[in-house]
Amino acid sequence: MTKGQQKTAIIVGASVAIGFLGDLVMYSLAVSKGSKFKIHVPKGKDLFQVLAIGFVTGLIIDKSISLIENKLKSEQEKTLDSLVAQDLKKVESGELSDSLPVQISWMKSQEIKNKA
């Protein structure tokens, strides 16, 4: 599982758990109908709907966070992320199994344009 997938799983899982707790309170309030409050866990179709809503909400939150993070990144951060992603693919494929990263090199953008 990649770091991005782990992040998505954590966000979706937290969203489902937190959403479920909130929905459980609301469901219990509705079922109690004015009598003494008691926790009621939904069953069957109601349980599925509560969990499905939490799951979809988690995916929406994850996508929103990713979009906002990417919008706020500078051009240097975007370029660095791209280079790291390329090397991560090499690590995952085993191409760099006997290597360790030792350096990140930076070059002035004008120097890059002059080389091209």
Considering the domain boundaries, does residue 19 fall inside one?
yes
Q: What distance, in Å, lies between the first and last C-alpha atoms of the chain? A: 37
Considering the domain boundaries, does residue 110 fall inside one?
no
Contact between 37 and 24 (Cβ < 8 Å): no
pLDDT level of residue 105 (50, 70, 90 thresholds) = confident
- The model's pLDDT over 37-72, given as tens digits with 9 standing for 90+, comes to 888 888 899 889 888 888 898 899 999 999 999 999
pTM: 0.64
pLDDT: which is higher, 50 or 80: 80
Considering the domain boundaries, does residue 91 fall inside one?
yes
What domain range includes position 54? 3-95
* Gap between the Cα atoms of 78 and 17, Å rounded: 32
The angle subtended at Cα 108 by Cα 102 and Cα 116, nearest 5°, is: 100
pLDDT at 101 over 90: no
Amino acid identity at 51: L
Domain count within the chain: 1
Considering the domain boundaries, does residue 105 fall inside one?
no
Is the CA virtual torsion 35, 39, 44, 50 positive or negative? positive
